[in-house]
Structure 1
Amino acid sequence: MADLGTVKAVVVAYRNTDDLRAALDGLERRVDVIVVDNGVEAEVAGLCEERGVAYLTPGRNVGFAAAVNLGIRAALATGPCDVLLLNPDARVSVAVVEALADALHAHERIAAVSPRLFGETGEEQQVAWPVPSPRNAWVDALGLRRLVRPSEVFLIGAVLLLNGAALRDVGDFDERFFLYAEESDWELRALRRGWRVRLCDTLSATHVGAGSSSDEQRREALFHSSAELFSRKWYGPTGWQGVRAASLVGSLLRLALQGRDRRAEHAARARLYLQGPARAAGRRAVG
């Protein structure tokens, strides 16, 4: 099995001490951990002192990507290592971390690996997703995903082990992503540089989901504004308009075809894309 001394875990905390405690419990004090506290909470600092893990805070909520960068830089400053990104609302065992580290180095040019993820009640969550693109947006809008396989996928960042060599090669996470899409952006940059990602389907971990916020409306706004930023960054203004049109068409189709219980959701999504997600979230569009 892999040497856990070559793995550093980075956990970004935001007002979720109970979740953070459970996440740390799963690592059994056998993995070095760096907690980056975006919530600037005395309780989080106290827990880190109690558990003997490193504590960093930017002094305010700088967003997930910027906080991850702080943790990764601190980890790499200690010497060559791989970095486990672990959400506070995720639970992973030491045995799974060891197996992930083995899988990460089983073949050359693997940038990131993840286990399968399950919710608290046992439902499986999708970990590997098509890399966002205008083409994939239209495939999903028209309900063709079962017929069209994506050419590239990314792995969500709830339990994601990153290759230290890839981190040095690809660089930092893009800090313009406040929340969501930062891992897909980094992984796409890695793919473009000849790296690969791998879902380890024989390994599993638990992910509660939305552990840092109970504000579903805010999460929705951040998710779609990050989707706009991603599209503009990678595909330019024209590509973004393709994604926007596909999202609008998909919302209108579902509004017409699905039951009444989902109509308000799809109507709200259509309005959001008519206005523009970044504008609706009060963020500056780029590209």
Structure 2
Amino acid sequence: MKLSIIILNYNSSGFTLDCVESIRKQTQRIDYEVVVVDNGSRPDDFERLLILTELPCLNVVRSQVNLGFAGGNMLGLQVADPASDYYFFLNNDCVLLDDVGSRLVAFMEDNRSVGVCTGQAVNRDGQHEPSFNYYPTLSGKWLGHGLKRWFNPTDYRPRWQPYSEPVEVPVVTGSALFVRATAFWQVGGFDPAFFLYCEEEDLCRRLRERGWKAMLVPDVRFRHLGGGSTRRSLQTEKEYYISLFYYFRKNENGFKLLLLQLFYTLKVGRKAFTSRHFAHLAWFILRGAPGRESLRYWQGLPVIARPLGARFQSTHSFQTL
């Protein structure tokens, strides 16, 4: 079996170097490669990644603009080994605590109906962190996940509960998303229209529609440090709702979309009297979270990277996707 590990870097090279070091230390029993995608970082941050080009089985590809999570990972696959059996999309603010790659490959080989899985995340202090999520639905938002659990326990397992055995879940975390290559391409991979959020919900939903299961494998662990490249701000919160409502437009009818828009406007709007931040955000949602205001379109001129030889590749075009 061959595994391709894809890591995105955006102005957070320190996290990336630590992530790669943990992969090289922990991964022992699988043929693997690492592809690091620099997603339009500052020149000084990108320069710190150049040491990686000296390592075996590791490629660095640079985009001159930020392609987002979905676009950046799809770019990484353009230089990954086309013969790979599995892909591991790993956030750069994660550190492997076990031989995650080998053990998840073994699990997937033993469970041929599983299309995507993940291990168990722990936080900086080694405490349990949820590694899966629920599909965003109208009924879940209006009724609450606790009530929905009575009717559909598989899709609404308690997220904070520790599990000792593999369990089927709706959506695995995008921080450490391990997917079977044949299943991934069967559904067309990531949708690059998503820029920062909801990519895993969209992918897991399309995999489920094709009959593939999503699983949590709790005895395989990784540490999720958080804060690798995205800082919370009004604009990043707007970005979340842009992705969320794009997901809803793909999967819900017009009436449900209207009710969801009302729900989120009221949810955020009730805090509008305490902060202009929430007033701006509620108005943004009421306007339909228009994609034209995405961070995707706020980028300046691309930074021209100097060539580094065969092990480094640079691109500036969305057409590579």
Same fold by TM (over 0.5)?
A: yes
- CA–CA distance in structure 2, aligned partners of residues 107 and 82 of structure 1: 14
Greater percentage in helix: 1
Question: 1:283 Cα deviation (Å)?
Answer: 8.1
Gaps of at least 5 residues in structure 1 are none
Q: Secondary structure at the match of 2:80?
A: helix
What amino acid maps onto 1:130 in structure 2? Answer: Y
Q: Give the number of equivalent residue pairs.
A: 269
Q: Does 2:290 align with 1:278?
A: yes
How far residue 276 of structure 1 moved from its aligned partner, in angstroms, is 3.0
Mean alpha-carbon deviation: is it higher for 82-91 or for 152-161? Answer: 152-161
The answer to whether structure 1 residue 21 and structure 2 residue 17 are counterparts is yes
Deviation at 1:45, TM superposition (A): 4.2
- Per the TM alignment, residue 267 of structure 1 is displaced from its structure 2 partner at its CA by 5.2
Match of 1:233 in 2: 250
- TM superposition score normalised by structure 2: 0.75
C-alpha distance in structure 2 between counterparts of 1:72 and 1:235, whole Å: 30
- 94-103 or 200-209, which deviates more: 94-103
2:51 matches 1:61? no
Question: In structure 2, do the counterparts of structure 1 residues 169 and 279 end up closer, same or farther at CA, with 3 Å as the change threshold?
Answer: closer
Moved more, 22-31 or 267-276: 267-276
Unaligned runs of 5+ in 2: 156-169, 297-321
What's the offset of the Cα at 1:23? Answer: 0.3
Match of residue 307 from structure 2: none
Instruction: Give the equivalent residue in structure 2 for 1:208.
Output: 225
Equivalent-residue separation in structure 1 for 2:233 and 2:129 (angstroms): 18
Greater Cα shift, 118-127 or 159-168: 118-127
Question: Which residue is equivalent to 1:124?
Answer: 128
Tell me the CA shift for residue 218 of structure 1.
2.7
The answer on whether the counterparts of 1:90 and 1:207 sit within 8 Å (CA) in structure 2 is yes
Query: Which residue of structure 1 aligns with residue 147 of structure 2?
Result: 147
Runs of 4+ in 1 over 4 A off after TM superposition: 265-269
Aligned-pair RMSD on alpha carbons? Answer: 2.6
On the 8 A contact 1:225/1:283 being kept in 2, the answer is: no
Matched-pair contact (CA < 8 Å) for 1:157–1:183: yes
Contact 2:97 2:223 in 1 (8 A): no
Instruction: Provide the residue aligned with 2:158 in structure 1.
Output: none
1:106 is matched with 110
Q: Is the 8 A contact 1:26 1:94 kept in 2?
A: no
The answer to which of 59-68 and 240-249 deviates more is 240-249
**Deviations for 1:140-165, whole angstroms, at most 9, x for unmatched residues?**
xxxx3222125642112101111112
Label 1:69 to 1:109 Cα distance change in 2 as closer, same or farther (>3 A). Answer: same
Q: SS in structure 1 opposite 2:11?
A: coil
Question: Structure 1 length normalisation: TM-score?
Answer: 0.83
Which segment drifts farther, 83-92 or 164-173? 164-173
CA shift for structure 1 position 75: 2.4
8 A Cα contact 1:83 1:163, kept in partner: yes
Q: Name which of 165, 173, 182 aligns with 1:156.
A: 173
* Amino acid in the other structure paired with 2:257: W
The match for 2:166 is none
> With CA pairs under 8 Å and 6+ residues apart, which has the higher RCO, 1 or 2?
2
Answer whether contact 1:27 1:94 (CA < 8 A) is retained.
no
Structure 2 letter corresponding to 1:235: E
Deviations 1:58-89 (A, max 9, x none): 32112211111122243252x13200111010
SS in 2 for 1:146: helix
Comparing 27-36 with 226-235, which one deviates more in the overlay? 27-36
Equivalent-residue separation in structure 1 for 2:129 and 2:289 (angstroms): 25
Deviations 1:94-144 (A, max 9, x none): 5222222222222122111111212212343322111122222223xxxx3
CA–CA distance in 2 between the matches of 1:223 and 1:59?
Answer: 23
Shift of the alpha carbon at 1:215? 4.5
Judging changes above 3 Å, is the alpha-carbon distance between structure 1 residues 191 and 76 closer, same or farther for their aligned structure 2 residues? farther
Q: Tell me, in whole angstroms, the C-alpha distance in 1 between the residues paired with 2:292 and 2:225.
A: 28
